[in-house]
Structure 1
Amino acid sequence: MTPVNDWPQAFVCAVADPSSDKSGSVSCPCCGNLLSPEQITSLKEQLAAEPVPVANLPPGTMFIDPHCHMIARTTADYIAMATAGIVAVIEPAFWLGQPRTNVGSYMDYLSHIVGFERFRAGQFGIRHYCTVGLNSKEANNPELAEAVMEILPSFAAKDGVVAIGEIGYDDQTELEDKYLRAQIELAKELDLPIMVHTPHRDKKRGTIRTMDVLYEHGFDPTRCVIDHNNEDTVRDVLDRGFWAAFSIYPGTKMGNVRMAALVHQYGPDRMIVDSACDWGVSDPLALPKTALLMRERGVSHEAIVKVTYRNALAVYGLNGEMKASDWLDPIPIDQRALYSGNSILRGGQAPRVTDTVSKNTSLEIS
């Protein structure tokens, strides 16, 4: 039998689900055949005897993943994330992998992340928030950029929007600089925090340049998250008073072993961990897995809570849209609900309906 730690996370969640005690509810990840009640019972026993790593965290552990592109993820990811203790996600406006050709496609995208994606996450017990902005790559299309800047204020005023972002530099062009500055001014006008995307190329220069521009515009660094940091940028970001976020993205950006070392070195203050999971090779469980590794590496429980939960709530909760009560006192899950006449379910699928959602209250929230 394949070891539990090698099971697909969505399969683990399905097996662990109390409702999966009859045939027809769980499919084998190898062959696709529906499992019998006897097989499910056997798998549950194996799961109890050999728990997956994320199950080794303290009971009631909660996480906020403040950088997730859930429009690119599946419902199985939501199930796995909720099972691992993720209670809230933030979805930053993002590059889709190919250029958008007109402002209408941008409007549809922003409408999705403030609307349907918020609904979809809630159907699995996760609170969904987002940031809105013109990304740095598409700032190089001035016709599109001007049109996007016209619509951003209306989207920034919608429920669940917690910041302007992700904004910053890509190739560090003059157009990128122009629209970065315009969006900093928009954030000031709307009294919203900012999420900054630091460039993949020439990262340190781009990060320092971004902070210089923010200072030029008089933007309060305590209201700004500089994301995608690494060992070359973290000291500058912290020394200047900004929040330093780190994306645990496989093979690039930041690894969880390196992240644990950075928390040991710099401490947890103004440090934030996220997954940046998207349409690429990425892991929606990167946050709880990193928390587990930090625990194994001797990082204190209080420090882990700060970098995986409390710090994100502190900065992204500044405009009042994101509150701990959203998940500590949640609304019931009812998968019979519809969004624009549509359900997350397909024919024959049984809806999950709960009177209450189990509350994770073992952490002290401040």
Structure 2
Amino acid sequence: MCGIYDLTEKDLQPLTYTPAFLDKIKGMRFFDPHVHMTARTTDDYQAMADAGIVAIIEPAFWLGQPRTGVDSFRDYFSSLLGWERFRSSQFGIKHYCTIGLNSKEANNEKLAEAVMEILPQFIYKEGVVGVGEIGFDDQTALEEKYYRAQLELAKEAGLPVQIHTPHRDKKKGTQRSMDIALEHGLEPHMIIVDHNNEETVKEVLDRGFWAAFTIYPFTKMGNERMVEVVKQYGSERIMVNSAADWGISDPLAVPKTAALMHESGIDLNDIHLVTYANAVKAFAQSGQIDEADFDLAKNIDQSEKFNGSSILRGGQQPRIDKNTTIIR
């Protein structure tokens, strides 16, 4: 019988295998327009790249516990524009973000006022494709106040808005979110209404907004339900995301949903629209997205550093792709 001391370095390496669902989506490209990679590992990035995800959007959100000062927001926003974009690039995935004051922390009025003062420093930065995720959580007066203020920022900047719809009393919160956006003179085609379900989708689409669906275990939408939504409503202005974060979530939700749609007989063009093209079209209204950049991102050099920091640790060897004309 072997003991633990008989293990070799090779035995301790991660298992490498190809998940069965990848066979169903071979050759497809995916865009996850809502995923919180700050809360995920480099293994997740590698798995996402292997599954065909070529680009992502990371919305600013809360960290699981309340922030206590505006500087924590400043550092967080900076990390979305800096370190996280770099980390994503090390796996060949193009990283964008949306910047905003999340609805949960909008209820701390003193802090919210300070955050509103710094938002203009960030929303005009390269790679920012919208103001988000903003909207309602408990549907309080303060949430509405700062939602309205950020709609005005988005309008001034000419940026799309990524709306977080509440988990409680979702239909009312979704309707109110759309009503207020229209009150502020924003066009529906500039608004991505997120976290939809069967109760909200028809009105969102009928009113001309983008309808985003989050495939999140046990709480939002399962991908079997998502298949039925696409069968009923088609693919126009519908997009799928994972919203993977520090909770029980799946960063491969988009390609897995594509695989299930394919297995269920949904047309490949419809799958392409809801898992890639619609998200590109909606957020490209920011003027920040060029699909050619997705291919450039595939030129990976993991020996690169960001402000002196690397994704590599110890004696790990960098991956350096040779399909580039640049010689270093």
| 1:192-341 map, 5 Å | 192-330=159-297, 332-341=299-308
TM-score, length-normalised on structure 2?
Answer: 0.94
Q: Does 1:155 align with 2:122?
A: yes
CA distance in 2, matches of 1:247, 1:184: 22
- In structure 2, list runs of 5 or more residues that go unmatched: 1-5
- What is the root-mean-square deviation of aligned Cα atoms in Å? 2.0
* C-alpha distance after superposition, 1:98-123 (max 9, x if no partner): 11111000001111111100000000
CA distance in 2, matches of 1:68, 1:58: 20
Q: CA deviation at 1:157?
A: 1.2
Find the residue that maps to 1:317 and give its secondary structure. Answer: helix
Q: Does 1:165 align with 2:132?
A: yes
* C-alpha distance after superposition, 1:296-323 (max 9, x if no partner): 1111100000000000000111122111
CA distance in 1, matches of 2:161, 2:24: 31
CA distance in 2, matches of 1:32, 1:313: 47
Whether the aligned pair in 2 keeps the contact of 1:55 and 1:84 (CA below 8 Å) is yes
| 1:76-225 map, 5 Å | 76-225=43-192
Moved more, 326-335 or 92-101: 326-335
* C-alpha distance after superposition, 1:171-203 (max 9, x if no partner): 111111110000000000000000000001000
Q: Does 1:35 align with 2:21?
A: no
Amino acid at match of 1:103: V
CA distance 1:345–1:233, shift in 2 (3 Å): same
Whether the aligned pair in 2 keeps the contact of 1:92 and 1:132 (CA below 8 Å) is yes
The aligned residue for residue 7 of structure 1 is none
Q: CA deviation at 1:34?
A: 3.3
Find the residue that maps to 2:130 and give its secondary structure. Answer: strand
CA distance 1:181–1:33, shift in 2 (3 Å): farther
Amino acid at match of 2:81: V
The aligned residue for residue 364 of structure 1 is none
Q: CA deviation at 1:329?
A: 3.7
Query: What is the total number of aligned residue pairs between the two structures?
Result: 320
Q: CA deviation at 1:59?
A: 3.2
Amino acid at match of 2:10: L
TM-score, length-normalised on structure 1?
Answer: 0.84
Q: CA deviation at 1:35?
A: 2.8
Find the residue that maps to 2:186 and give its secondary structure. Answer: coil
* C-alpha distance after superposition, 1:258-310 (max 9, x if no partner): 00000000000000000000000000001110000011111110000000000
CA distance in 2, matches of 1:33, 1:203: 53
CA distance in 1, matches of 2:38, 2:26: 29
Whether the aligned pair in 2 keeps the contact of 1:333 and 1:356 (CA below 8 Å) is no
Q: CA deviation at 1:32?
A: 8.5
Q: Does 1:72 align with 2:39?
A: yes
Find the residue that maps to 2:226 and give its secondary structure. Answer: helix
CA distance in 2, matches of 1:196, 1:53: 34
Higher relative contact order (CA 8 A, sep 6+): 2
Whether the aligned pair in 1 keeps the contact of 2:302 and 2:319 (CA below 8 Å) is yes
CA distance in 1, matches of 2:140, 2:26: 48
Whether the aligned pair in 1 keeps the contact of 2:93 and 2:298 (CA below 8 Å) is no
Q: CA deviation at 1:158?
A: 1.1
CA distance in 2, matches of 1:322, 1:150: 26
Amino acid at match of 1:344: I
CA distance in 1, matches of 2:240, 2:211: 9
